[in-house]
Structure 1
Amino acid sequence: MRLVYRGKTKDVYEEGPYLIFHFKDTVLGREGKEDSGGNEVIGEREGKGSIVLEQTEFFFKLLERNGVKTHFIERIDERKARFLKAERIPLEVIYRFKAYGSFLRRYRGWVNQLQELNIVEFTLKDDSLDDPLIAEEAVVALGIASRREVEEMKETTRKVARILGKFFSSRGLQLVDFKLEFGRLDGGLIVIDELSGDTMRVAKKEMVLTREELSEVIE
């Protein structure tokens, strides 16, 4: 295997037509405090990488069963999994059921915590710029994705929102927000990267679950 990317939360290796993800125990944060939306490594938590992979496997399989294509192939061990190789689009597509986290900080005074939103946002995936918001027209104008791809990413994200929302609602929980990444493969788009407590927030009685509490939900 050839190392192609060493990231903050995972290392990525190339293996023929596949990618091997090795999930780390690193924890991300902002200003020294844990925050899954942060870009700063603030420490490690034993077993965290295994939890994230377990959740990614579960939720990607849930999406596949409901007609959403992902690049997940199989889990190899506690920390590693095999994925299809796709051309990554450098965007994060965020679905916000409720106002929380960076949305509250960004629009302080204009929105209440957990206020209903049901909106899709795009951010440019660039750590050096702190993943800024980007307008859909700018995505097209900068050649990051075509108008058709932008619409398809939005449509797929809303479909994922319905799938996850139904799953958590059946367990007495509320999906707050989540983010997806997309890649190009064989002329189409598929969901890539991961889907876990690192990329979604779920609440119970207005209290957001920890990553470990989310694992209890899918057991």
Structure 2
Amino acid sequence: MRRIYRGKTKDVYEDGPYLVFHFKDSILGEDGREDTGGNEVIGERRGKGSAVLDETEFFFRLLERNGIRTHFVERIDKRRARFLKAEKIPLEVIYRELAYGSFLRRYNGWVKELTPLGIVEFTLKDDALKDPLITEEAIVRLGIASEGEVMEMKEKTRIVAEILREFFCSKGLQLVDFKLEFGRRNGKLIVIDELSGDTMRIMRDGKLLSQEKLREVIV
């Protein structure tokens, strides 16, 4: 296999018609503090990569059962899995059920913590620019995605929100927010990358669930 990408939380290898993701034990944060929305590696936690893969496998299979296509194929071992190749769209599609994290910081004084939102935002996936917000019109004008693709990504993200909301509600938990990435495969949009405690926030009784506690929910 040939490594084609070395990232903060995973390495990606080319394996014939597939990609193999190797999930690392990296912890993300900002200014030395752990934060799933952070862009800096601030340390490692043993078993973190395995937990992320456990969650990604579970949630991608949950989406597939509910009609949302992903690129997940199969698990190889504790920290590696095989995925379909897709043309990656350089966007993060963020669903915000409640006001929290960077949304609060961005609109300080205009919104209270945990205010219901139910909105979809787009950010440009570019670490050098710190993943800035991008408008739907700019996405189209810059040739990142077509207007139809933007609408489809929003629609699929809202469907994913419904699936996750129903699942977490059945466990007595509250969905706060999550982010998705999309790719093109055979002319169709599919969900790619991962869906885990690194890409979502979940609460129980007003407190964020740790990666370990989220893992316990799905095993």
Q: TM-score range by the shorter chain?
A: over 0.9
TM-score (norm 2): 0.99
Match of 1:119 in 2: 119
CA positional deviation for 1:94: 0.3
State the match for 1:134 in structure 2. 134
Are 1:213 and 2:213 an aligned pair? yes
Q: Number of aligned residue pairs: give it.
A: 219
Looking at structure 1, the residues matched to 90 and 190 of structure 2 have their Cα atoms a distance apart, in angstroms, of 14
Q: Which residue of 1 aligns with 2:171?
A: 171
Query: CA offsets per residue over residues 85-128 of structure 1, 9 Å max, x none?
Result: 00000000000000111001101111111110000000000000
Alignment of 1:67-146 (within 5 A): 67-146=67-146
Flag as ranges the 4+ runs of structure 1 deviating above 6 A.
none
Q: Which residue of 2 aligns with 1:14?
A: 14
Which residue is equivalent to 1:26?
26
| Partner amino acid, structure 1, of 2:143 | G
Q: Report whether the alignment pairs 1:41 with 2:36.
A: no
What is the CA distance between 1:2 and its match in structure 2?
Answer: 0.6
Partner letter of residue 124 of structure 1? L
Q: Distance in 2 between matches of 1:174 and 1:4?
A: 37
- Matched position secondary structure for 2:202: strand
- Flag structure 1 segments of 5+ consecutive residues without an equivalent: none
d(CA) in 1 for partners of 2:170 and 2:46? 30
Q: Does 1:57 align with 2:86?
A: no
Give the residue type in structure 2 aligned to 1:24: K
Q: Note the residue ranges of structure 2 that are not aligned, 5 or more in a row.
A: none
Give the share of equivalent positions with the same residue, in percent: 73
Residue 186 of structure 1 aligns with an amino acid whose one-letter code is: N
Q: How far apart in 2 are the matches of 1:38 and 1:22?
A: 20
1:156-206 per-position Cα deviation (integer Å, ceiling 9, x unaligned): 000000000000001111100000000000010000000000000001111
Instruction: Give the whole-Å Cα distance in 2 for the aligned partners of 1:80 and 1:67.
Output: 25
1:5 aligns to 2:35 (yes or no): no
Q: Distance in 2 between matches of 1:207 and 1:116?
A: 16
Return the offset for 1:43.
0.5
